[in-house]
A and B are shown apart, each in its own frame.
Chain A
Amino acid sequence: MVKVYFELEEQDIISTSKYFNNAYTEEWLDDWARRVIREIDKSELVSEGLVQSPVLGPITIREISSGAKALIIMNADDSVISNANSCGDNCAELLAELSRKKDFSIYLAYPMKFRDLQFDMCIARDGAICHNAKEFEREYLLWRHSMTF
């Protein structure tokens, strides 16, 4: 199940790209990472640290998209709350799938479009459980409406 934080203290928010570049290990670059890089970046993880991109050519693992990095962190590193604001709507499917497989936490402060995906989600601020886009969007709006701008 994924625990979703709509808000976090500044010191708890990780910079996805910088964190990944300075924290990833060989163990992180497993089958999940391979799949994330293939499905999100349309690229192939050739070997540790080397990725073949159809647009950029051969690039280092440090140059994959922030969305891909965030999804890899979610699977590989339980010591931080992954920053899912780095993930676009095209990351929703993998995020939903991961939520059905393991427990992890994310910071998500925008209404990601989950469309008809099913997922296991707990909203940190009120403990609400969401399994579909409608339930998530309701929780997101409740949070937004509770804010004073």
Chain B
Amino acid sequence: METQHDILVQNKRDIQFKISINRKITVIRGDSATGKSTLFQMVSDANTSSRTGVNIACDVPVVALYETGYQYELSNESGKIYVIDEDFSHLKTKEFASLVLKSDNCFIIITRESLPAIPYSYREIYKIKTSGKYHSLERVYPDYDKLTEKDMIVTEDEDAGLEYYQYFFGDKVTTSHGNSNLSKYGSQNSLLIGDGSAIGAYIQDMELTGADMYLPESFEWKLLNNGMFKNNEKVQELIEHPERVVDTKCISMEKYCTGLLNNITANTPAQYSKSKLNQCYVRQCCCKGTKCEYFTRDKVLE
């Protein structure tokens, strides 16, 4: 199922919600009394019978998910957008997370709590912006896309990812051994580097530390941004519009980018390995004496 959809929910009293989703998981939080429960209630009402005074316009069905029978629903249905209210008591369970990850559906989850078992992007965390009866979504967090040098730099990645940042910033770069540990290293003097596409559950913690953040979609996504792939249409489409490329069957952006990087560099000098950084990704030229077909810059031998 594609993950990009525009949704219009409105009732006969002109209460209106205009929502655009981009990924499999969208989280809505924010102030009280902005309309979150009203949105869920309207979607819920619309599902109960054919004439409810609520109209939902979307290219796929938008439905409320209830606690009763949700396991069957998520295991057997596909191609839907489920709206889940904060009262849904299974939100933080492993069973729910497992069903969501396997599911071929999209999810709009209303919750202020973090959901560590579900990878979701910090870019897809929203609050509701209200103007009278009209409601739309507004991102909670800005883009953290500037790589700035700080006294301490900590990346969630090990091996190739760690080596990559150490190449540029030296020994001040260490690893947190995973995204859940990143905030432990946060301070005014540190830069935290994580996979933006899966950091949603930890972004509140990281923000509290006052640290700077650099959150590309994933480390492999950052490598795909390398100039050597600028002639690869699939890569460029991914970089420009990740939501158009990654569907609900893909467990995470990191896995998608890793698979893509592995495929397009297999049996080339730029062959990607997660365990060891290929120097092609950091050096200004290919020094292996072999012409790299992806390399767009002039080849300069050392």
Contacts and interface: CB of A to CB of B under 8 A. Distances in A.
Contacts of A55: 15, 35, 130, 132-133
Interface in B78-120: 86-87, 89, 111-114, 116-117
Contact of B32 (A10, A56, A90, A111): A90
A145 B183 contact: yes
B31 A88 contact: yes
Given A55-B132, A55-B133, A65 B33 contact: yes
Interface residues of B, number: 32
Interface string A84-106: 01111111000000000000000
Given A66-B37, A110-B112, A40 B133 contact: no
Contact of B33 (A17, A40, A85, A141): A40
B209 interface: yes
A44 interface: no
A144 B32 contact: no
Contact of A88 (B34, B183, B209): B34
A68 to B, nearest CB: 7
Interface residues of A, number: 34
B13 interface: yes
Given A41-B33, A57-B13, A145-B183, 16 more contacts: A17-B87, A18-B87, A41-B32, A55-B132, A65-B32, A65-B37, A85-B86, A85-B112, A88-B29, A88-B112, A109-B114, A110-B112, A110-B114, A144-B183, A144-B205, A149-B117
B33 A13 contact: no
7 contacts: A55-B35, A68-B33, A88-B34, A111-B208, A141-B183, A144-B183, A149-B180
B32 A91 contact: yes
Interface in A65-80: 65-68
A17 B208 contact: no
Instruction: Tell me which of B31, B33, B87 has the highest count of chain A C-beta atoms within 10 A of its own C-beta.
Output: B33
